[in-house]
Amino acid sequence: MRTPNLTRYAWLSIAAAAATIALKTTAYVLTGSVGLLSDAVESLVNLVGAVMALSMLTVASRPADEDHSYGHSKAEYFSSGVEGTLILIAALSIAVAAARRLLAPQPLEQVSIGLAVSVAASVINLTVAIVLLRAGKRHHSITLEANAQHLFTDVWTSAGVIVGVLAVVGTGWLPLDPIVALLVAANIVWTGTRIVRRSILGLMDTALPDSELAAVKAALDSRLNDGIEYHALRTRQSGARRFVSLHVLVPGAWTVHRGHELLEDLEARIRAAVPNVTVFTHLESLDDPASWDDQQLDRDRPLPAAPRGAGDGAR
């Protein structure tokens, strides 16, 4: 199956980030709110993350080649990992700016215009986030999902900042603005940590989630009977691509053709149960004791000794 080119969604994210940076920076200049400044900084991170997503989606869409026979889909984890790290850096910069403003509070100006501009930026982010999230789930792209979650975080951040600014206006208590900015930074840390963790798990060849693993086992159980068994079931995920491998044990009297037909059917059932999956099967005999020695990742059983005279050529 050809990997879909998802770069158009990255371009959409870049355009949204550029627009929101301009709007939120304008809102900060008008009001002087450090909360709105924190919002603009996060949008700058959105832009960097979107550019990174564009480059990695471009790589991930390349077909398999001699050096990457399993394709390039794992490149997506680099994008989501970088974006998660950038989110954490943005949170730190927001916290520093908020701490300084907490020590030296300043009055806010032109609040109405500033908030209107911020709301407009949030609407852009919300719309693009919904589009990216749907595309990410449809195409099983961790890059698009991470980008969407980042934008959703930006929307909630903006909502919190707006509430904080309104609270300052209503109460006159200036420290509320930097306090809200600190809460925003804490929320961003949580989101960034979650994205980085998911990227690390992907690079470590983590097994398929429980729901997909259950679907694989159900597909196998629907075809197997008392005369057929399987073991050494292993799974991993690489970007949008899943990999499943297993050993299928059949009676030793079966013909190669019959065994091959069974494997073809099992592989088709797994592909129907789990999207974007590559299946590797290995046929073994129930009657051979050696079939039970390879259930671990590394097979410890030594090679059998060659029969006497084996390898001797005709003289």
Q: Is the pLDDT of residue 35 over 70?
A: no
Provide the pLDDT confidence category of residue 181 given band limits of 50, 70 and 90: confident
- Which domains, and CATH codes, for the chain? 7-203 (1.20.1510.10), 210-292 (3.30.70.1350)
pLDDT of amino acid 113: 74
pTM: 0.62
pLDDT digits (tens, 9 = 90+) for 198-226: 778 777 778 888 999 999 999 999 888 76
Spatial distance between the Cα atoms of 142 and 163, rounded to a whole number of angstroms: 31
pLDDT digits (tens, 9 = 90+) for 89-122: 777 877 887 787 778 776 666 667 777 877 888 8
pLDDT of amino acid 308: 56
